Structure 1
């Protein structure tokens, strides 16, 4: 099976082990923890992000138990959602006009 184009590339994985919060998710594997998406770009997708989240009583999305963007193997999944994010932003912009 052929590997994805991004696999084993430096730009697809960054682990900031000197960060004061590393790893920022409890129970995460420090050797496989990708800090590239420190602030998850999929947050805006709400329940379509694919991650392990919950909504708080006040309606905020709580991603404390989600490691989806932080696993090395999920780089392609996250970047694969960019078109969906672009469409969401386009719709939001149209709704504001």
Structure 2
């Protein structure tokens, strides 16, 4: 899966890895900035700081090979909600 459309590992980045991980070979850099950051509920492991800022430093979802499916699923659901589509299970 290395460097496919679902996974990209940039070991040359000066910040690599930007989150602590025991498996840097599985660290996905594709979503360097998580597209779900501004979602009120993204499904990730985050805390809201006293300042109101979302702190995602302990979240590795966007940085795993499986994170691609999680992020695309959340984005598709949100776009469907915005368009007013009926849920698939309804």
Provide Cα deviations, 1:2-61, integer angstroms capped at 9, x if missing partner.
Answer: xxxxxx481000000000000000235210000000000011112x21111000001110
Q: Which runs of 5+ in 1 are unaligned?
A: 1-7, 91-97
- Flag as ranges the 4+ runs of structure 1 deviating above 4 A: 87-90
Normalised to the residue count of structure 1, the TM-score between the two structures is 0.74
Q: Are residues 45 and 86 of structure 1, via their aligned partners in 2, closer, same or farther at CA, if it must alter by over 3 Å? A: same
**d(CA) in 2 for partners of 1:87, 1:58:** 31
**d(CA) in 1 for partners of 2:43, 2:51:** 21
**2:80 is the alignment partner of 1:56:** no
Aligned residue pairs: how many?
A: 83
Q: What value does the CA root-mean-square deviation take over the aligned residues?
A: 2.1
Q: Which runs of 5+ in 2 are unaligned?
A: 84-90
Normalised to the residue count of structure 2, the TM-score between the two structures is 0.80
Please state which structure has a larger fraction of its residues in helix. 1
